[in-house]
Homo-oligomer: A and B are copies of this chain.
Amino acid sequence: MKEVDISSINKDFESRVRLGIMSVLMVNEWVNFSDMKQMLELSDGNLASHAVALENRKYIEVRKAFVGRKPETSYRATPEGKIAFQKHIEALVALIGKG
């Protein structure tokens, strides 16, 4: 029987929302909340909750600033987050490669 290994797949990146957030932050430096929300077609709550989870794992960092009088939240992937996501991608590719 042909074997399949899922042990290297990172549960923190399982949901497509988190895959999306990390993918955006792999190719863009700081991305603000409204751009991220629009790009991934998410609700405020959905984006916020997944962003908090990724921040708690230190995969992304959060910056809060004022643009005029409006508060703006932006996200950036940490070096640790980029490495972890890269490993996750490699695990997916290894899995897919057997399909």
Give, as a whole number of angstroms, the nearest-CB distance from A5 to chain B. Answer: 8
With A and B bound together, what is the CA distance between A95 and B98 in angstroms? 19
Give a binary string over A28-45; 1 marks a CB under 8 Å from any B CB, 0 the rest.
Answer: 100100010001110000
How many residues of chain A get a CB closer than 8 Å to chain B's CBs? Answer: 34
Given known pairs A27-B98, A85-B99, the reply for A4 and B20 (CB within 8 Å) is yes
With A and B bound together, what is the CA distance between A28 and B98 in angstroms? 11
Q: Which of A68-97 contact B (CB under 8 A)?
A: 85-86, 89, 92-93, 95-96
Give a binary string over A1-45; 1 marks a CB under 8 Å from any B CB, 0 the rest.
Answer: 111101101010011110110111011100100010001110000
Give, as a whole number of angstroms, the nearest-CB distance from A11 to chain B. Answer: 7
With A and B bound together, what is the CA distance between A24 and B22 in angstroms? 27
Given known pairs A3-B39, A31-B1, A35-B1, the reply for A20 and B89 (CB within 8 Å) is no
